[in-house]
Structure 1
């Protein structure tokens, strides 16, 4: 197989030449930049989800009836409905004007929305305007998240050597567990600094305000990164896609649906922690466990480390085993984690709660680590940004958007967590079946010279999408 760009080794559009040392340094800079940027984005996104489970119910929805927690979780899901809009917009801009531009804009949008939430007055101060403003800012977060992922993974994978796409692509994927680690760690620290009522009054705001510092760091790092070599070659040849979204759905609708279902199977399960559900379930004073807020947040922080490690290992393993085989292994591990989760959490023992989360996140890592390389290899170069972004956004709606709210409603209706386990197991099986429909395209050339090969549908049973 040839490398992704079709230039000679070390060459770049415009005739510039890099030494092997320069090329290695540039690739490392790209991976570092995508890791930092996605970590900041997901720190912002998860900080909201944690606050939704711990604070936003009484703070912003207390005057809207007894279902304040359910309404709070609903705002987590609302943002997902706007991810496709962000993905459509970012895909169009990314396929026409480049990956780097989109990454800068999404980073600033997410950070601004997060910081503003940190200074937002509560329901007690301004009434119904408080939840309305909160939802509007969450919508901005959703638009940003919808555009961020596609650009980050393409920057990493399209810069990668052919045989290390899984490992390089795992870089931006680690932004999720790193964002989870950072968000839950800061929340846990604030629960110690401002315990009890102080956390509800002002402690929760500090993690949101810290986003300003993180955005400045992310912006500084990302602005120094070179554009993706695949897009640079497309631009030099003046082959930027015209109406990429329209082309995507005219020729690859089935592929978009199948890849969305792959992510949905991971996302629904992942949002038990990243969506704040376990945090709320385990700390609810009227619930069956009623653990202290701080220790539960530290347990989630610890599970983010196992998620991080398994994500990296899975990305690396997919370069040897293939994306499809690695995913199948991941679904088996994830299913085992789903069945172990609530029996361990419901013991009320903090160590066993952590064990349940750790087991779950190993499977999550194996169904998330290879995703960047998998998605990048499934779509043609000229519409790749649109394809990966839209598939990801739709998968997020089908999977994680309302998973915390669904789990809350199931427990409220049945009085137990057995129904939640069945729901999560069902979503895992959906992801497995969708994976089985895909052919493995590990190592396929990514550059525009191979567009005809890339156009052949990877969905089994279809010769063309």
Structure 2
């Protein structure tokens, strides 16, 4: 029993130094992962259509490039299933290291790919294969990074802790846009010839930094506790996926509840970038705006995550969905103006006021819906399934709606409001898990009756 107590003490929430180390590793590792993944998003909107689909018309090339973007999102649930299963069985830390290496290798190889002018149809095929690897990697990354922060943090700080992990996403976005923006200042022929490759090749160095931070952290204390209890009981353990599917309500509602999160992000990022450039903004200006928007998004994530510890996760996420419904039309008008100040204002508002509250509390909110033994699988699968539809297909849907209305905004507005309302309804239907078993799996002490404690449901 002494060994058990020592193992639990090693990573318990009260160890502030270890918690800081875990939060830094989650943030830095996620920033590197999403730098790689979102560098592709930016490049697919601005570069890949010309390099890998040059035999198509400009519009068709953009659509084809965005379709390869969707492939990465489609493969994310596969990563959630694979890494979720092994993360629930073997541990969170080893999965985070594996996903980071996979992402770094695939991104570096994208920077070495020949274009369609050099090898013809083989170029887009290789691009799609590497994008699938990226999707599988990031599908496993989110759950592990979020859970490491969630399961090391004390219960009253879990919204803030997981928001720091999530903030790696927009940090990666800002880094990716900044890297592409810097090299886009080159003469256009040199940028499209070789300059665009450098940001992808830089991934190798960034992955080294991410690995250094992640190798220094301890395993999740809640996972270690759950693993020990499972070994001591000797009872057969059902597959984590089965544990999730036999009570599917949280998974289904998480999927619909997060559709607005990814749809509004797609509206702002991949679709918004293309739309702004088509209406007169230069490449460097767009990328500079995206860098500042990413920084606003980081602030929005952290403030919203901390607010969710005080006001509840569902309240903050619902605020973001409603704000997205209200701001979609002004956003379209501003980014279509062709003026950099108006476009910057549009991105800052959407990133900070809409995307921030939608993403900031999500890690803690989803983690609280599942037991420790199936949490990696359940939270990852719900998150990545929503990302496949909202993140992967929303840009294609938005482009199609814009084309169908000859550049009008009406159909896009109806689509955004419809998705926003659907998510709000699903969020309202999600119930916080209550009772002693739920509190114990979340690492919340259960006071005894003679201590005067009462078993109040944990906020969701």
Structure 2 residue corresponding to 1:309, chosen from 299, 303, 310: 299
Could you tell me which residue of structure 1 aligns to residue 166 of structure 2? 173
Could you tell me which residue of structure 1 aligns to residue 415 of structure 2? 423
Q: Is the partner of 1:400 in helix, strand or coil?
A: helix
Q: Is the partner of 1:87 in helix, strand or coil?
A: helix
Could you tell me which residue of structure 2 aligns to residue 96 of structure 1? 89
Could you tell me which residue of structure 2 aligns to residue 352 of structure 1? 342
Structure 1 residue corresponding to 2:73, chosen from 76, 80, 91: 80
Which blocks of at least 5 consecutive residues in structure 2 are unaligned? 447-456
1:259 maps onto 2:254 in alignment: yes
Please list, as runs of the form range in 1=range in 2, the aligned pairs for 1:424-443 lying within 5 A after superposition: 424-440=416-432
1:277–1:231 distance in 2 versus 1, CA, 3 Å: same
Q: Is the partner of 1:336 in helix, strand or coil?
A: helix
Of residues 29-38 and 196-205 in structure 1, the stretch that sits farther from structure 2 once superposed is: 196-205
1:22–1:360 distance in 2 versus 1, CA, 3 Å: closer
Q: CA deviation at 1:18?
A: 5.8
1:174–1:449 distance in 2 versus 1, CA, 3 Å: closer
1:151–1:13 distance in 2 versus 1, CA, 3 Å: farther
Structure 2 residue corresponding to 1:447, chosen from 418, 441, 450: 441
Structure 1 residue corresponding to 2:271, chosen from 277, 291, 295: 277
Could you tell me which residue of structure 1 aligns to residue 365 of structure 2? 374
Are the counterparts in 2 of residues 99 and 155 from structure 1 also a CA contact under 8 Å?
yes
RMSD of aligned Cα (Å): 2.6
CA distance in 2 between counterparts of 1:322 and 1:448 reads: 16
Structure 2 residue corresponding to 1:185, chosen from 178, 200, 205: 178
CA distance in 1 between counterparts of 2:440 and 2:36 reads: 32
1:49–1:449 distance in 2 versus 1, CA, 3 Å: closer
Q: CA deviation at 1:20?
A: 9.4
Which blocks of at least 5 consecutive residues in structure 1 are unaligned? 1-6, 461-465
Could you tell me which residue of structure 2 aligns to residue 238 of structure 1? 230
1:248 maps onto 2:220 in alignment: no
CA distance in 2 between counterparts of 1:98 and 1:16 reads: 15
Of residues 357-366 and 115-124 in structure 1, the stretch that sits farther from structure 2 once superposed is: 357-366
Q: CA deviation at 1:262?
A: 1.6
CA distance in 1 between counterparts of 2:79 and 2:260 reads: 21
- State the TM-score, normalizing by the size of structure 1: 0.89
1:385 maps onto 2:376 in alignment: yes
Q: Is the partner of 1:121 in helix, strand or coil?
A: coil
Are the counterparts in 2 of residues 103 and 151 from structure 1 also a CA contact under 8 Å?
yes
Q: CA deviation at 1:167?
A: 0.6
CA distance in 2 between counterparts of 1:270 and 1:19 reads: 34
Q: CA deviation at 1:303?
A: 1.0
Could you tell me which residue of structure 1 aligns to residue 103 of structure 2? 110
CA distance in 1 between counterparts of 2:301 and 2:14 reads: 27
CA distance in 1 between counterparts of 2:109 and 2:272 reads: 26
CA distance in 2 between counterparts of 1:24 and 1:12 reads: 20
CA distance in 1 between counterparts of 2:13 and 2:364 reads: 24
Are the counterparts in 2 of residues 234 and 448 from structure 1 also a CA contact under 8 Å?
no
Q: CA deviation at 1:246?
A: 1.9
Q: Deviations over 1:185-231 (max 9, x none)?
A: 11111112x23222211111111011001000001110111000111
Query: How many residues align structurally?
Result: 440
Could you tell me which residue of structure 2 aligns to residue 137 of structure 1? 130
1:120 maps onto 2:143 in alignment: no
Q: CA deviation at 1:417?
A: 4.3
Q: Is the partner of 2:342 in helix, strand or coil?
A: helix
CA distance in 1 between counterparts of 2:215 and 2:399 reads: 41
1:414 maps onto 2:405 in alignment: yes
Q: CA deviation at 1:445?
A: 2.6
1:211 maps onto 2:231 in alignment: no
Could you tell me which residue of structure 1 aligns to residue 385 of structure 2? 394
Structure 2 residue corresponding to 1:39, chosen from 15, 31, 43: 31
